[in-house]
């Protein structure tokens, strides 16, 4: 009989189950406390009960364990200085959406050589999330594959649904069942309607296919996520961080009866994809907060130890603390921008 199934599948590989991974890298009491408490703080910031702002900052994507923990330790020290004004959340992005081809992130290719050792990728990713949480720092990520949250979501305090996936029914359903606040980015053309629809959809209950902790295929029935919110990231028409765009967004949120504020991404189209211009967005946002804005719950920017980016190239010749994907601002500028926002919140 002629085959009609799996014709383009070269090989099926077994994968550790979520339960097995969590047994290898179990939550510590400290990690659980950091995740649970930071989620509550983020929720309160988004609805205006907490007058602080959050700053989601870190590398565009993680690729080096040592540099990642170095950055986390630096960020934790800064958090202690600005705790009254700002909640710092470290970017821990393990999956990278690609327009065509390219490195897909630490989770998929942890050795940076195209070997796609995904099981090791899961182990390294969970280990890093545990170490960062144990340090006392909450983390943020973007979820792409709907299977991934079963492995990692218990250690994540904030998550994004990206500009290319906010319109996806699969991701809206997934977000409705996730346990942390979810930011939906506006579409790549700058349209806000897609993200607004996504927030409303994720607030509602859904039933969809997934896996449980033992890797068994199940039907997930969700309650809906009350803390979906808008992330302004600019679009093909240019940035949307200025006050006129923020006011327009506020009107849309009120009309849609969405009680959460918004987060503004200082990178991507809001910086014209030029990392050196993230500061322009940040200082404009700081001025809006200083002038009394209450709807901006936080900002995002891409930052690492060293400025710029590098190509993957040959193994063993990578520059320490330098991004492999989008260009980042360096550590000194990171401290400066966090301080500027804290000062604006302080008034």
Q: Which of 26-40, 119-133, 253-267, 311-325 has the lowest mean pLDDT?
A: 311-325
Residue 312 has pLDDT above 70, yes or no: yes
13-39 mean pLDDT: 97
Model confidence over 325-347: pLDDT tens digits? 999 999 999 999 999 999 999 98
| Rounded (10°) angle between helices 65-82 and 331-346 | 30
Share of the chain above pLDDT 90, in %: 94
Encoded tokens for 54: 């959050």
Residue 166 has pLDDT above 80, yes or no: yes
Model confidence over 72-130: pLDDT tens digits? 999 999 999 999 999 999 999 999 877 667 899 999 999 999 999 999 999 999 999 99
Q: How many CB atoms are closer than 10 A to CB 94?
A: 27
Better pLDDT: 315 or 94: 94
pLDDT averaged over the chain? 96
Query: Structural domain boundaries of the chain?
Result: 18-346
What DSSP designation does 48 have? T
Burial class of residue 254 (count of CB atoms within 10 Å of its CB; 0-12, 13-18, 19+): exposed
Is the full-model pTM beyond 0.85?
yes
154-158 mean pLDDT: 98
Tell me the CA end-to-end span of the chain in Å, nearest whole number: 75
273-299 mean pLDDT: 98
18-346 homologous superfamily:
Aldolase class I (3.20.20.70)
Model confidence over 41-51: pLDDT tens digits? 999 999 999 99
pLDDT of residue 96: 83
Residue 314 has pLDDT above 60, yes or no: no
pLDDT of residue 242: 98
């Amino acid at each position: 009989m002629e085959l009609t199934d799996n014709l383009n599948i070269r090989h099926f590989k077994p994968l550790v189950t979520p339960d097995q991974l969590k047994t290898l890298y179990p939550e510590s009491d400290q990690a659980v406390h950091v995740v649970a408490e930071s989620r509550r703080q983020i929720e309160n910031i988004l609805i205006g009960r907490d007058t602080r702002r959050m700053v989601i900052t870190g590398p565009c994507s993680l690729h080096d364990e040592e540099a990642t923990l170095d950055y986390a330790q630096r960020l934790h020290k800064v958090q202690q200085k600005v705790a009254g004004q700002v909640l710092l959340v470290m970017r821990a992005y393990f999956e990278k959406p690609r327009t065509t081809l390219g490195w897909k992130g630490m989770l998929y290719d942890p050795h940076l050589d195209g070997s796609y050792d995904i099981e090791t990728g899961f182990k390294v990713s969970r280990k890093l999330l545990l170490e960062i949480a144990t340090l006392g720092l909450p983390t943020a990520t973007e979820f792409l594959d709907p299977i991934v949250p079963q492995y990692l979501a218990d250690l994540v305090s904030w998550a994004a649904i990206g500009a290319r996936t906010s319109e996806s029914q699969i991701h809206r359903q997934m977000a409705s069942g996730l346990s942390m606040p979810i930011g939906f980015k506006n579409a790549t053309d700058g349209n806000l309607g897609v993200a607004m629809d996504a927030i409303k959809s994720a607030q509602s209950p859904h039933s969809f296919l997934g896996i449980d902790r033992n890797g068994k295929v199940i039907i997930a029935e969700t309650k809906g996520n009350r803390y979906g919110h808008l992330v302004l990231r600019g679009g093909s028409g240019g940035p949307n961080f200025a006050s006129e765009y923020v006011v327009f967004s506020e009107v849309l949120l009120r009309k849609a009866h969405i009680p959460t504020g918004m987060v503004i991404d200082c990178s991507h189209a809001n910086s014209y994809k030029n990392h050196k211009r993230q500061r322009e967005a940040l200082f404009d946002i700081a001025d809006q907060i200083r002038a009394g804005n209450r709807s901006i719950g936080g900002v995002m920017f891409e930052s690492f130890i060293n400025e710029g980016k590098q190509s993957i190239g040959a193994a063993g010749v990578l520059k320490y603390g330098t991004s492999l994907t989008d260009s980042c601002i360096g550590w000194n500028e990171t401290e400066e921008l966090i301080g500027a926002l804290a000062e604006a919140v302080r008034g």
